[in-house]
Amino acid sequence: MNRFFKLLILLLISYSINHVTASDFDETLITIETRKTAMQGIWERVKRLSPYVELKEKVDYNKDLAANDAQEIVKLLEKTKYLWSEKSNLSSKGFTNATPAVWALPDYFNKLYSKAEQSALNLNNAITNDNIDDTVIAMCGLGKACGTCHANFRRLLTSQLANEVSGWSGKYVENCK
């Protein structure tokens, strides 16, 4: 009888450990999915903003929409900043396109991320203040920060190259210096 209780306790402990691990894994997958969704949201807003910033073509997009998109980029960057925990380093398992360098070089990653945040704030302020020159500069800064970060910390599949190069090359506007 004593062996039975020991075995039962051992099984319960084993189950609870596996249950916690499964729960942590599910939470990590949610974190990764949230991160991906937010980054895609940033990209969608950048694509809408680019023609507006360049004034290259007549767009059915006005200052209010541009300001809203710029504010959303700021918010999305703020919300995703802390979604890079060590436990979300599942790149070797194929659950994320982030490379292990994100976690191996956190200071450099955070430096680039901070540059993106600052550029997004600058973009938001420039649009709000109707300053087109500062808007272009901020858009260039955002492109450089995002493009550099993705070049260093994002793994690409061959099938993603064409879209990624056009998307995260950092050239959101022409003549970006």
Question: CATH number for the 2-168 domain, one of 3.30.870.10, 1.10.3720.10, 1.20.120.10, 3.30.2040.10?
Answer: 1.20.120.10
Helices 63-80 & 2-54, crossing angle to 10 degrees? 150
Q: What's the average model confidence in pLDDT over 122-138?
A: 93
Question: What pLDDT, on the 0 to 100 scale, is given for residue 171?
Answer: 65
**pLDDT at position 154, please?**
86
- Confidence tier at 151 by pLDDT (50, 70, 90): confident
pTM: 0.78
Q: Are 124 and 70 in contact (CB under 8 A)?
A: yes
What are the residue ranges spanned by the domains of the chain? 2-168
Residue 127 one-letter amino acid: I
Query: Over pLDDT 70: what percentage of the chain?
Result: 75
Rg of the chain taking only CA atoms, in angstroms = 21
What residues have CB less than 8 Å from 42, skipping those under 6 apart? Answer: 73, 76, 77, 146
Rounded-to-integer distance, Cα 78 and Cα 155, Å: 23
Furthest CA-CA distance within the chain: 82
Burial (Cβ within 10 Å: 0-12, 13-18, ≥19) of residue 124: buried
